[in-house]
Amino acid sequence: MLSVVPNKTAASFAAVAVLAVVSMVTARAADEQNDSSVQAQIDNGKATYTKACSHCHGPNLMNSGTITPDLRGFPDDKPRFVATVKQGKNNRMPPWGDILSDEEITDLWAYVSSRRKP
């Protein structure tokens, strides 16, 4: 035998279902927006790398036969990366802190870290 669900209970179930669907759609939209924001940072970082870094570090984050490190092996250490870019390293890498903005350095980190070797 079918049981009858009171109207208030049915309405409550419907409201919860609608809220759950809206919640999932909103979360997915936020994830997609975040993914596109990260991709934009990577793309901007690649452009900055090409302009400012590739002549020493090579077009693919490595330049064999030189003293520059393979950036694909750079540790997952953003503060160290930022400090190195801004201040230079061992009188061999020039400081870029007065040339690149904080946003460009952040984008550069996004690009380098996206290409990291496991």
Half-sphere exposure of 31 (CA within 13 A, CB side): 6
Among candidate residues 58, 40, 35, the one with its CA nearest the CA of residue 111 = 40
The domains of the chain are located at 34-114
74-100 pLDDT, tens per residue? 999 999 999 999 999 999 999 999 999
Is 70 within 8 Å of 62 (Cβ atoms)?
yes
Judge: domain 34-114, CATH 3.40.50.150: no
39-75 pLDDT, tens per residue? 999 999 999 999 999 999 999 999 877 788 899 999 9
* Locus of tokens 């302009």: 51
Answer yes or no: pTM beyond 0.75.
no
